[in-house]
């Protein structure tokens, strides 16, 4: 899975039917979110129980479908409908079990000057 390099990440708010595979998730991305599933982006979905996440990713000649299933606990997942753009950092927080709404990490430093 691509991390680093500024790949856009789109989080599908609310629950998604995890019986859907690549074709079904691609249709959600294109029809419900009006986004291009063939773009260089990660599309992230969660089930109703909050213990499974699927990530759809296009890479050059085909789709990747990543799945993570928690044995205990739940992902902190936003309700509602539609897609929400998040950063790769927030995605990592979600996959690590943190709530991106309350997690406060270090600010990203853009200056490259030694003091």
Nearest to 75 by CA among 89, 93, 57: 93
Question: What are the distances in angstroms from CA 27 to CA 31, 36, 67, 87?
Answer: 6, 10, 18, 23
Give the distance from CA 56 to its chain's centroid. 8
Rounded-to-integer distance, Cα 109 and Cα 75, Å = 28
Rounded-to-integer distance, Cα 20 and Cα 4, Å = 27
User: Residue 105: what pLDDT?
Assistant: 65
Contact (Cβ atoms closer than 8 angstroms) between residue 7 and residue 42: yes
User: Residue 114: what pLDDT?
Assistant: 72
User: Residue 81: what pLDDT?
Assistant: 87
- Report the chain's terminal Cα–Cα distance, integer Å: 36
pLDDT tens-digit readout, 18-74? 999 999 999 999 999 999 999 999 999 999 999 999 999 999 999 999 999 999 989
């Amino acid at each position: 899975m691509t991390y680093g390099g500024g790949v856009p990440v789109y989080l599908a708010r609310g629950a998604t039917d995890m019986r859907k595979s690549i074709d079904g998730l691609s249709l959600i991305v294109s029809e419900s979110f009006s986004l291009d599933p063939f773009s260089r982006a990660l599309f992230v979905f969660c089930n109703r129980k909050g213990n499974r996440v699927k990530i759809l990713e296009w890479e050059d000649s085909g789709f990747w479908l990543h799945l993570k299933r928690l044995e205990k606990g739940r992902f902190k997942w936003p309700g509602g409908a539609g897609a929400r753009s998040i950063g790769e950092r927030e995605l990592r927080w979600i996959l690590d079990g943190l709530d991106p709404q309350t997690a406060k990490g270090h600010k990203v430093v853009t200056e490259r000057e030694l003091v």
